[in-house]
Amino acid sequence: MKPTEEYVTAEDGVRLFVQTLGSGPQTVLLPNRIYLFEAFKRFADGRTLIFCDPRNRGRSDHVSDRSKLDRGIHHDVDDVEAIRRHFGIARVDVIGHSYMGLVVVLYAMKYPDHVGRVVQIGSMPPDYARPYPAHLTNVDATLGEVLARLGELQKARQSYDPRAFCRKFWSILRVLYVADPLDADKITWDVCDLPTKWASCGSGTSTCCRRSSISS
């Protein structure tokens, strides 16, 4: 089954890249396409899966106008609504991974009449300033080692071209996306040919992640 590809234009003119797979009655929106497409495309039977790249990421428009970024996560929330309206879907199920876990919750809060189910995978917390019990934070030796290696990489950033730096960055960071570090090589996301990813590698938002239970 081959996905259809198109751009959906947000209210402020930013184009969002979208892939659609399947034609079933249950519509599921996954706003982290570059990470989730390969893992979730198998579920298209009986469903319509809509994968999209957030603004300024993936194959969506690279945004240099700060006014189209200054609302932060709330841009992403409204972009999800723009995609729902574009397809004319009354209610949509949403799957949020990592940062997008918070996006889909905010979307459900703002547009409750248009949301069926909400699924979160390794979601970031709503408030990083709030202390959580140690067993919920995953602050352990693995996290310390990864952050230390990323710090050393950042010092050498000027010795890498943007694509090479991105690949090195993700080769270190992907350990945090699995329960067992030995499973890190099973993550084969290749996002570093996308200029929208080069700028974010090494930024504060890129290292704001929590270990999930992905192991296959």
Q: For residues 147 and 88, state if they share a domain.
A: no
Percent of the chain whose predicted confidence (pLDDT) is above 70: 89
Q: For residues 201 and 172, state if they share a domain.
A: yes
Show the CA angle centred on residue 211, arms to residues 209 and 212, nearest 5°.
115
Q: Which pTM does this prediction carry? A: 0.80
Q: For residues 9 and 103, state if they share a domain.
A: yes
Percent of the chain whose predicted confidence (pLDDT) is above 90: 56
Answer whether residue 213 is part of any domain.
Answer: no
Alpha carbons 13 and 90: distance in angstroms, whole number? 23
Q: For residues 74 and 181, state if they share a domain.
A: no
Answer whether residue 215 is part of any domain.
Answer: no
- Whether 172 and 153 have beta carbons less than 8 Å apart is answered as yes
Average pLDDT for 89-113: 95
Q: Which domain holds residue 195?
A: 134-207
163-167, 178-182, 188-192: which has the minimum mean pLDDT? 188-192
Q: For residues 97 and 146, state if they share a domain.
A: no
